[in-house]
Amino acid sequence: MPSQPAVNKARSSAGRLKGDQCERDWIWDRAVETAPDDERFAAASAAWDLQFQHLLKGSEFYSRKFREAGIGTAKLGLADISRLPFSTKDELREAVDERPPFGTNAGVGVERIKRVYQTSGTTGSPTVIALTLNDMETWTSIGARTYYATGIHEHAGVLTTFGAGPFVAGHTHFVLTRIGTRVVPVAPGDTTRVLFALQAGLVDTLLATPSFAQYLANRPESADGNAASRALIHVVTGGEPGGGIPAIRDHIERVLGVTVTEVMGIGDIAPSLFGECPSQQGMHFSGTGHVWPELIDPDTQEPMAIETGAVGELAYTHLTREAMPVVRFLSGDIVRIEGTSCDCGRTSFRMRCLARRDDMFIVRGVNVYPAAILAVVGEFRPRVTGRARVVRRGSEVSVQPPVPIEVEVPAATGLDAALAAEIEDAVHTRLTFRCKVELIPEEAFGESGYKTKLTVTRP
Ligand SMILES: [Zn+2]
Question: 379 and 344 share a domain?
Answer: no
Residue 110 pLDDT grade (very low, low, confident, very high; cuts 50, 70, 90): very high
Q: What pLDDT, on the 0 to 100 scale, is given for residue 49?
A: 97
d(CA 286, CA 350): 10
Is residue 266 predicted with pLDDT exceeding 70?
A: yes
d(CA 171, CA 163): 9
CA nearest 294: which of 271, 269, 272?
Answer: 269
Question: 206 and 90 share a domain?
Answer: yes
Is the CA virtual torsion 95, 326, 307, 13 positive or negative? Answer: positive
Q: What pLDDT, on the 0 to 100 scale, is given for residue 347?
A: 96
CA nearest 380: which of 256, 234, 250, 257?
Answer: 250
Report the residue count for the chain: 459
d(CA 164, CA 269): 18
Ligand 1 center to 345 CA (angstroms) = 6
Residue 203 in domain: yes
pLDDT digits (tens, 9 = 90+) for 397-416: 788 899 999 999 988 887 88
Residue 3 pLDDT grade (very low, low, confident, very high; cuts 50, 70, 90): low
Question: 124 and 267 share a domain?
Answer: yes
Question: 53 and 156 share a domain?
Answer: yes
Ligand 1 center to 181 CA (angstroms) = 21
As for how many domains the chain has, the answer is: 2
Question: 414 and 344 share a domain?
Answer: no
Ligand 1 center to 55 CA (angstroms) = 34
Ligand 1 center to 448 CA (angstroms) = 33
Residue 293 in domain: no
233-247 mean pLDDT: 88
Question: 344 and 432 share a domain?
Answer: no
Q: What is the 3-state secondary structure (H, E, C) of the chain?
A: CCECCCCCCCCCCCCCCCHHHHCCCCECCHHHHCCCHHHHHHHHHHHHHHHHHHHHHHCHHHHHHHHHCCCCCCCCCHHHHHHCCCECHHHHHHHHHHCCCCCCCCCCCHHHCCEEEECCCCCCCCCEEEECHHHHHHHHHHHHHHHHHHCCCCCCEEEECCCCCCCHHHHHHHHHHHHCCEEEECCCCCHHHHHHHHHCCCCCEEEECHHHHHHHHCCHHHCCCCHHHHHCCEEEECCCCCCCCHHHHHHHHHHHCCEEEEEEEECCCEEEEEEECCCCCCEEECCCCCEEEEEECCCCCCEECCCCCCEEEEEEEECCCCCCCCCCEEEEEEEEEEECCCCCCCCCCEEEEEEEHHHCEEECCEEECHHHHHHHHHCCCCCCCCCEEEEEECCCCECCCCEEEEEEECCCCCCCHHHHHHHHHHHHHHHCCCEEEEEEEHHHHCCCCCCCCCEEEEC
**Which CATH number belongs to the domain containing residue 370 in this structure?**
3.30.300.30
Residue 249 in domain: yes
Question: 103 and 223 share a domain?
Answer: yes
Q: Provide the residue type at 103 as one letter.
A: G
Q: Which of 307, 326, 348 is the last residue of a domain?
A: 348
Residue 247 pLDDT grade (very low, low, confident, very high; cuts 50, 70, 90): confident
Is residue 89 predicted with pLDDT exceeding 70?
A: yes
Residue 190 in domain: yes
pLDDT digits (tens, 9 = 90+) for 427-439: 999 888 999 999 9
Ligand 1 center to 183 CA (angstroms) = 24
Ligand 1 center to 349 CA (angstroms) = 9
Q: What pLDDT, on the 0 to 100 scale, is given for residue 449?
A: 58
Range of the domain at 51: 26-288+339-348
Is residue 134 predicted with pLDDT exceeding 80?
A: yes
Contact 331, 314 (CB under 8 A): yes
Q: Which of 348, 372, 388 is the last residue of a domain?
A: 348
Ligand 1 center to 287 CA (angstroms) = 15
39-to-32, 33, 197, 347 alpha-carbon distances in Å: 9, 11, 44, 11
Residue 243 in domain: yes
Residue 122: CB atoms within 10 A of its CB come to: 13
Pick from 15-29, 114-128, 286-300, 399-413: least confident: 15-29
Share of the chain above pLDDT 90, in %: 62
Is residue 140 predicted with pLDDT exceeding 70?
A: yes
Mean pLDDT taken over the chain: 88
Question: 272 and 221 share a domain?
Answer: yes
Question: 382 and 263 share a domain?
Answer: no
Contact 136, 235 (CB under 8 A): no
Ligand 1 center to 340 CA (angstroms) = 10
pLDDT digits (tens, 9 = 90+) for 223-235: 767 777 788 999 9
Q: Which of 300, 323, 348 is the last residue of a domain?
A: 348
pTM for this entry: 0.86
Q: What pLDDT, on the 0 to 100 scale, is given for residue 1?
A: 55
pLDDT digits (tens, 9 = 90+) for 300-350: 999 999 999 999 999 999 999 999 999 999 999 999 999 999 999 999 999
Ligand 1 center to 23 CA (angstroms) = 11
pLDDT digits (tens, 9 = 90+) for 171-195: 999 999 999 999 999 988 789 999 9
Residue 333 in domain: no
Residue 321 in domain: no
Is residue 374 predicted with pLDDT exceeding 80?
A: yes
Q: What pLDDT, on the 0 to 100 scale, is given for residue 6?
A: 37
Question: 270 and 390 share a domain?
Answer: no
Question: 266 and 378 share a domain?
Answer: no
**Which CATH number belongs to the domain containing residue 268 in this structure?**
3.40.50.12780
Question: 53 and 162 share a domain?
Answer: yes
Residue 42 in domain: yes
Ligand 1 center to 132 CA (angstroms) = 31
